[in-house]
Amino acid sequence: MDYKQYISSKLNIEGVSESDVMSFIETPPNTEMGDYALPCFKLSKIMHASPVQIAENLKSAFSCDDIISECNAVNGYLNFKVNRNGFARSVLSEVISKGDKYGASDIGSGKTVCVEYSSINIAKPFHIGHLLTTVIGSSLYKIYKFLGYNAVAINHLGDYGTQFGKLIVAYKKWSSEKQVLEGRLKELSRIYVKFHEEAKIHPELDDEARRYFKLIEDGDKESNELFLMFKKITLEEVEKIYKLLNVSFDSYAGESFYSDKMAPIVEELKEKKLLKNSDGASIVDLEEFGMPPCLILKSDGSSLYATRDLAAAIYRKKTYDFYKSLYVVAYQQNLHFKQFFKVLELMGKEWAKDCVHVAYGMVSLESGAMSTREGNVVLLEDVINKTIEKAYKVIEEKNPNLENKEKTARAVGTGAVIFSALQNNKIKDIVFSYDKVLSFEGETCPYVQYTVARCNSLLSKVGEPKDYNDKDLTIEEYEVINQLSKFKDAIIYASEKYEPSAVTRYALDLATLFNKFYINCKIAGEDENTKNLRLSIVKSVKITLTNALRLLGIETVEVM
Ligand code: ARG
* pLDDT tens track for 332-362: 999 999 999 999 999 999 999 999 999 999 8
- Ligand 1 neighbour 329 (Cβ under 6 A): yes
Atom 11 in ligand 1: residue holding the nearest Cα: 309
Q: Is the pLDDT of residue 364 over 90?
A: no
CB 67 within 8 A of CB 84: no
Element (H, E) at 282: strand 281-284
What atom of ligand 1 comes closest to residue 130's alpha carbon?
A: 4
- Predicted local confidence at residue 333, as pLDDT: 97
Looking at the CA of residue 158, tell me the nearest atom of ligand 1. Answer: 1
Q: Is 158 in the pocket of ligand 1 (CB under 6 A)?
A: yes
63-79 pLDDT per residue, tens: 999 899 999 999 999 99
The residue to mutate among 156, 160, 310, having the most atoms of ligand 1 within 8 angstroms of its beta carbon, is 156
Residue nearest to atom 6 of ligand 1 (CA): 119
Question: What pLDDT sits at residue 373?
Answer: 46
From 116, 117, 119, the mutation candidate for ligand 1 (largest count of ligand atoms within 8 A of CB) is: 119
Q: Which atom of ligand 1 is nearest to the CA of 329?
A: 7
Contact by Cβ (8 Å): 133, 345: no
Phi-psi region of 121 (alpha: psi -120 to 50; beta: other; left: phi over 0): beta
Average pLDDT score over residue span 401-426: 95
pLDDT interval class at 432 (50, 70, 90): confident
- Between CA 421 and CA 428, with CA 425 as vertex, the angle to 5 degrees is 80
Question: How do residues 240-265 score in pLDDT, each as one tens digit?
Answer: 999 999 999 999 999 999 999 999 99
Q: Is the CB of 310 under 6 A from ligand 1?
A: no
Ligand 1 center from residue 118 Cα (angstroms):
8
Q: According to the model, what pLDDT value does residue 491 have?
A: 98
Please say if the pLDDT value at position 416 is more than 50.
Answer: yes
Q: What value does the mean pLDDT take over residues 279-302?
A: 95
What is the per-residue pLDDT for 375? 56
Distance from the alpha carbon of residue 228 to the mean position of ligand 1, in angstroms:
20
Lowest mean pLDDT of 100-109, 125-134, 492-501, name the range. Answer: 125-134
Question: Across residues 81-107, what is the average pLDDT?
Answer: 95
Mutate to test the pocket of ligand 1, among 134, 258, 327, 329 (most ligand atoms within 8 A of CB): 329
- Compute, in angstroms, the gap from residue 288 CA to the centroid of ligand 1: 26
- Average of per-residue pLDDT across 127-156: 96
Q: Which atom of ligand 1 is nearest to the CA of 124?
A: 4
Exposure string (b/e) for 320-330, b if CB count within 10 Å is 16 or more? bebebbbbbbb
Among the listed ranges 9-18, 48-57, 450-459, 485-494, which one has the minimum average pLDDT value? 9-18
Using the atom order of ligand 1, give the atom closest to the CA of residue 309.
Answer: 10
pLDDT band at residue 125 under the 50/70/90 scheme: confident
Q: In three state form, how does the secondary structure of 416-435 look?
A: HHHHHHCCCCCCCCEEECHH
Q: Confirm or reject: Cβ of 134 under 6 Å from ligand 1.
A: no
Q: For residue 471, what pLDDT is reported? A: 87
Gap from CA of 130 to ligand 1 centroid (Å): 10
pLDDT at 81: 93
Distances (CA, A) of 431 to 329, 363, 365, 381, 436: 18, 6, 5, 17, 10
For ligand 1, the distance from its centroid to the CA atom of residue 156, given in whole angstroms, is 7
Ligand 1 midpoint to CA 327 (Å): 9
Query: Measured between alpha carbons, how far is 151 from 322 in angstroms, rounded to an integer?
Result: 9
- Please tell me the distance between residue 136's alpha carbon and the centre of ligand 1 in angstroms: 15
- Residue 367 is predicted with a pLDDT of 67
Q: Is the CB of 119 under 6 A from ligand 1?
A: yes
Give the distance (Å) from ligand 1 centre to CA of residue 329: 7
CA distance 533 to 92: 9
Q: Is the CB of 130 under 6 A from ligand 1?
A: no
450 pLDDT exceeds 50? yes
CA–centroid distance, residue 346 to ligand 1 (Å): 22
Nearest residue (by CA) to ligand 1, atom 1, is 158
- Choosing from 333, 356, 357 the residue with most ligand 1 atoms within 8 A of its CB, the one to mutate for a pocket test is 333
pLDDT of the residue at 14 = 86
328 CA to middle of ligand 1, Å? 9
Ligand 1 proximity of 156 Cβ (cutoff 6 Å): yes
Determine the pLDDT at residue 544. 98
Ligand 1 near 161 CB (within 6 A): no
Show the 3-state SS of 368-415: CHHHHHCCCCCEHHHHHHHHHHHHHHHHHHHCCCCCCHHHHHHHHHHH
Asked whether 309 lines ligand 1 (CB < 6 A), one says yes
Which distant-in-sequence residues (6+ apart) come within 8 Å of 112 by Cβ?
149, 150, 151, 152, 320, 321, 322, 323
pLDDT at residue 372 in the model = 41
pLDDT surpassing 60 at residue 484: yes
Report whether residue 121 contacts ligand 1, using a CB cutoff of 6 Å.
yes
Query: 199-219: per-residue pLDDT in tens?
Result: 999 999 999 999 999 999 888
Contact 459, 538 (CB under 8 A): yes
Q: How far is CA 171 from CA 157, 174, 181, 223, in A?
A: 21, 6, 12, 11
For helices 305-320 and 263-271, the axis angle rounded to 10 degrees is 100
Task: Quote the pLDDT of residue 191.
Answer: 93
Give the pLDDT band of residue 30 (cuts 50, 70, 90): confident
pLDDT band at 301 (very low <50, low <70, confident <90, very high): confident
Q: What is the pLDDT of residues 538-549, one digit of tens each?
A: 999 999 999 999
Instruction: Count the neighbouring beta carbons within 10 Å of the beta carbon of residue 182.
Output: 10
Q: What pLDDT score does 276 carry?
A: 96
Compute, in angstroms, the gap from residue 254 CA to the centroid of ligand 1: 9
Q: Is the pLDDT of residue 178 over 70?
A: yes
CA of 512 to the centre of ligand 1 (A): 38
Distance 403 CA to ligand 1 centre (A): 42
- % residues pLDDT > 70 (the chain): 98
136: pLDDT strictly greater than 50: yes
Ligand 1 neighbourhood includes 327 CB (under 6 angstroms): yes
> Residue 2 — very low, low, confident or very high, per pLDDT cuts 50/70/90?
confident
